[in-house]
């Protein structure tokens, strides 16, 4: 496969020059000395604190942030270095060494979280009412939410130290295994080696034979690793169960919900709202089957383009398309995203050993985010670049909230990325006048929306089934997990899509199941939220754009419902999700009308 982003690699020198950079141990040594001084200075103050005591909370937070920033740089650098070359043992060892060192330093900071969460409610409230900590009040409140689940300082240190040889270790093992599995595609009588990203991109091909080859290749590559991947997932499930018990959570999803600042009932409302709309997805796949001229639609046909001729887009053209879209939305937005290209903050090249998929990584308020994508030249990859740049713009703006509040909860963190995709898609659709190509573009967008809403909820359903069954039964066999995968996806697709034996492997390569259990529902949340958000933008762009920038600049410094209120949206409303689902229905209606007009 041609490399459409050859040599488009990030430049990490804003962090460090290399893994041998002497500044790395120097920064870590400085962080260690500051952490030791921090512990010595403030830990005794908590022990003698009462309602009449003076406590220098503002000074504590200032010094705490300085240490966190010092630790963030080497942590991010090691993560990005490894993501770019997971098959390099030296980099893997470097990352492990950095993680262990940071864990050791963090042990001297743990007393703050533990002591803060053990404070009497009145004393904590009094300290938070001080004007000098007003900008950090939400961070302090968020910490207090975890009070029922916070252990003693000694126990927290054990949990932190052991994480490097438990969940984190299996997470790294998953990445190393997945990023080094050889996948092969039959081409002109030869078996050609491909990366996971290259194989997954073939599911969007207009050629059914290519899609079938991709399905066979993925299954063939994953099958020999089934035992190891199943063991890894079982260890993630077991580690999660242990944390659930130790930290006194009632449900496997509770920790992620707390992190996302959303309650269990609200998540269930989202899940049930989407599942009740599964028939719309099945209706769309019936239309797509007709457009593709198929008697039966198999799982490997779901993402097929309905356009017979596929146009490949070089990365330089992708860059122009995306920049034009962001500049058209707002000159300020264009100004923020352009340096990602000009200053090499993006790694887009497809290469062996590189982490699959895509992400945008936050650094520190003094620096900038970095983006990883695996660009194969498809229009969908253009949308992925637009998506990750949305994250980049969000994180860039949120720097003003500071290192403790820059990261938005996952539910809001996906909003700018999805919004960015919609901006670029609309510009592309506006320029296209050919009805057939417009229908193909529209179907592609519906495919992506359904993958982001319906499929993510089906994946959340799978996770719930795996975690809840694991709680009752312990370790699960691979066939049992594959049964769960088929069962939850069958509810989604119904009779509209035939799920093959190859599809039974589908759960094995999903990184979110390993790295961030119950991450997936945040995608559905964000997609439906942004559909409503985009309606607000279309109604009054001039009024909307300043509010949008305000939203993004807040990062995680306010609750999601308070951020949503800035643009007039109420995510607590029980019927809120219906408005986004209605927009999805309108897209399907539009596709059906376009299809009918061409038939007439």
Tally the domains of the chain: 1
User: Contact at 8 Å (CB) between 4 and 312?
Assistant: yes
What H or E segment, with its residue span, contains residue 347?
Answer: strand 346-347
CA atoms lying within 13 Å on the CB side of residue 6:
4
In this prediction, residue 220 carries a pLDDT of 97
Please give the full DSSP string across 81-115, using - where no structure is assigned: HHHH-TT-HHHHHHHHHHHHHHHHHHTTTHHHHHH
In this prediction, residue 356 carries a pLDDT of 87
94 by Cβ neighbours in 10 Å (0-12 / 13-18 / 19+) ranks as buried
Please give the full DSSP string across 372-439, using - where no structure is assigned: E----S-HHHHHHHHHHHHHHHHHHHHGGG-TTT-SPPHHHHTHHHHHHHHHHHHHHHHH---HHHHH
**How sure is the predictor about 383, in pLDDT bands with cuts at 50, 70 and 90?**
very high
As a whole number, mean pLDDT of residues 242-251 equals 95
Report residue 59 as tokens: 């000074």
Residue 154 within any structural domain of the chain: yes
In this prediction, residue 48 carries a pLDDT of 86
Residue 17 within any structural domain of the chain: yes
As a whole number, mean pLDDT of residues 266-285 equals 96
CATH code for the domain in which residue 146 is found: 1.20.140.70
In this prediction, residue 152 carries a pLDDT of 93
Model confidence at 398: pLDDT above 90: yes
Using one digit for the tens of pLDDT, what is the confidence trace for 58-105? 999 999 999 999 999 999 999 999 999 999 999 999 999 999 999 999
As a whole number, mean pLDDT of residues 440-459 equals 94
Model confidence at 256: pLDDT above 90: yes
As a whole number, mean pLDDT of residues 429-439 equals 88
**18: alpha, beta or left? (left if phi > 0; alpha if psi -120 to 50):** beta
**474: alpha, beta or left? (left if phi > 0; alpha if psi -120 to 50):** left
Distance CA 66, CA 63 (A): 5
User: Contact at 8 Å (CB) between 420 and 357?
Assistant: no
Alpha carbon 398 to chain centroid, angstroms: 17
**How sure is the predictor about 1, in pLDDT bands with cuts at 50, 70 and 90?**
low
Strands 370-372 and 346-347: parallel
Buried b vs exposed e over 164-198: b needs ≥16 C-beta within 10 Å?
bebbbbbbbbbbebbbebebbbeeeeeeeebbbbb
User: Contact at 8 Å (CB) between 304 and 206?
Assistant: yes
- Residue 193's DSSP bridge partners are 184
Please give the full DSSP string across 498-543, using - where no structure is assigned: BPPSGGGGGGGG-HHHHHSTT-THHHHHHHHHHHHHHHHHHH-HHH
- Full-model pTM: 0.87
Residue 147 within any structural domain of the chain: yes
In this prediction, residue 16 carries a pLDDT of 98
Distance CA 140, CA 116 (A): 8
Report residue 304 as tokens: 């097929």
Residue 378 within any structural domain of the chain: no
40 by Cβ neighbours in 10 Å (0-12 / 13-18 / 19+) ranks as exposed
As a whole number, mean pLDDT of residues 373-387 equals 93
186 vs 226, which has greater pLDDT?
226
Residue 336 within any structural domain of the chain: no
User: What percentage of the chain exceeds 90 in pLDDT?
Assistant: 86
Distance CA 389, CA 397 (A): 12
Report residue 400 as tokens: 């003003």
Supply the range of the domain harboring residue 138.
12-162
Residue 177 within any structural domain of the chain: no
Chain mean pLDDT for the chain = 94
Tokens 């080696």 sit on residue: 193
In this prediction, residue 410 carries a pLDDT of 87
Using one digit for the tens of pLDDT, what is the confidence trace for 475-527? 999 999 999 999 999 999 999 999 999 999 999 999 999 999 999 999 999 99
Residue 50 within any structural domain of the chain: yes
Tokens 């001297």 sit on residue: 108
As a whole number, mean pLDDT of residues 227-249 equals 96
**How sure is the predictor about 167, in pLDDT bands with cuts at 50, 70 and 90?**
confident
In this prediction, residue 482 carries a pLDDT of 98
As a whole number, mean pLDDT of residues 265-283 equals 95
Model confidence at 268: pLDDT above 90: yes
Residue 34 within any structural domain of the chain: yes
* Rg of the chain on CA atoms, in Å: 24
Distance CA 358, CA 205 (A): 20
As a whole number, mean pLDDT of residues 448-458 equals 95
54 by Cβ neighbours in 10 Å (0-12 / 13-18 / 19+) ranks as exposed
**How sure is the predictor about 600, in pLDDT bands with cuts at 50, 70 and 90?**
low
In this prediction, residue 309 carries a pLDDT of 72
Distance CA 534, CA 548 (A): 10
Q: Could you say which DSSP state residue 310 is in?
A: P
Cβ-Cβ contacts under 8 Å for 134 (sequence gap 6 or more): none
């Amino acid at each position: 496969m041609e490399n459409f982003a050859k040599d488009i690699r990030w430049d990490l020198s804003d962090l460090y020059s290399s893994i041998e950079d002497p500044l790395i141990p120097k920064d870590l040594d400085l962080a260690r000395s500051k952490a030791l001084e921090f512990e010595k200075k403030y830990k005794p103050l908590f022990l003698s604190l009462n309602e009449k005591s003076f406590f220098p909370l503002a000074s504590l937070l200032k010094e705490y942030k300085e240490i966190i920033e010092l630790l963030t740089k080497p942590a991010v650098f090691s993560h990005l270095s490894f993501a770019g070359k997971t098959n390099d043992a030296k980099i893997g060892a470097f990352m492990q060494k950095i993680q262990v060192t940071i864990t050791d330093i963090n042990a001297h900071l743990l007393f703050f979280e533990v002591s803060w969460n053990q404070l009497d409610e009145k004393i904590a409230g009094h300290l938070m009412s001080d004007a000098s900590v007003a900008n950090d009040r939400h961070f302090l409140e968020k910490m207090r939410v975890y009070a029922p689940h916070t252990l003693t300082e000694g126990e927290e240190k054990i949990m932190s130290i052991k994480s490097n040889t438990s969940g984190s270790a299996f997470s790294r093992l998953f990445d190393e295994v997945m990023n080094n599995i050889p996948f092969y595609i039959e081409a002109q009588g030869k078996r050609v080696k491909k990366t996971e990203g290259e194989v997954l991109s073939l599911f969007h091909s207009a050629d059914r034979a290519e899609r079938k080859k991709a399905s066979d290749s993925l299954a063939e590559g994953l099958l020999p690793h089934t035992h190891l991947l199943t063991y890894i997932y079982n260890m993630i499930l077991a580690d999660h169960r242990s944390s659930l018990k130790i930290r006194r959570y009632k449900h496997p999803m509770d920790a992620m919900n707390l992190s996302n600042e959303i309650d269990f009932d609200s998540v269930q409302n989202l899940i049930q709202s989407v599942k009740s709309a599964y028939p719309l997805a099945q209706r769309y796949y019936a239309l797509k089957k007709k457009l593709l001229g198929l008697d039966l639609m198999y799982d490997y046909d779901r993402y097929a383009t309905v356009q017979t001729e596929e146009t490949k887009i070089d990365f330089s053209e992708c860059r122009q398309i995306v920049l034009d879209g962001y500049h058209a939305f707002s000159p300020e937005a264009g100004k923020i995203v352009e340096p990602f290209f000009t200053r090499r903050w993006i790694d887009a090249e497809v290469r062996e050993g590189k982490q699959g998929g895509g992400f945008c990584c936050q650094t520190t308020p003094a620096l900038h985010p970095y983006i990883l994508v695996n660009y194969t030249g498809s229009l969908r990859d253009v949308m992925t670049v637009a998506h990750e740049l949305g994250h980049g713009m969000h994180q860039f703006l949120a720097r003003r909230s500071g290192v403790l509040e820059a990261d938005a909860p996952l539910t809001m963190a996906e909003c700018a990325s999805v919004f960015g995709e919609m901006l670029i898609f609309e510009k592309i659709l506006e320029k296209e006048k050919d009805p057939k190509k417009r229908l193909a573009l529209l179907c592609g967008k519906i495919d992506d929306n359904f993958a982001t809403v319906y499929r993510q909820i089906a994946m959340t359903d799978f996770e719930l089934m795996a975690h809840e069954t694991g709680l009752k039964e312990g370790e699960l066999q691979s066939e049992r997990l594959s049964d769960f995968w088929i069962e939850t996806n069958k509810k989604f697709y119904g009779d509209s899509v035939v799920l093959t034996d190859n599809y039974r492997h589908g759960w094995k390569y999903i990184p979110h199941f390993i790295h961030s259990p119950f991450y997936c529902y945040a995608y559905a949340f964000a997609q439906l939220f942004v559909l409503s958000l985009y309606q607000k933008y279309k109604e009054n762009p001039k009024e909307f754009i300043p509010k949008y920038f305000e939203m993004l600049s807040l990062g995680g410094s306010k609750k999601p419902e308070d951020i949503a209120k800035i643009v007039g949206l109420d995510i607590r409303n029980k019927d809120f999700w219906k408005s986004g689902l209605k927009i999805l229905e309108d897209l399907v209606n539009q596709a059906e009308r376009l299809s009918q007009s061409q038939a007439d």
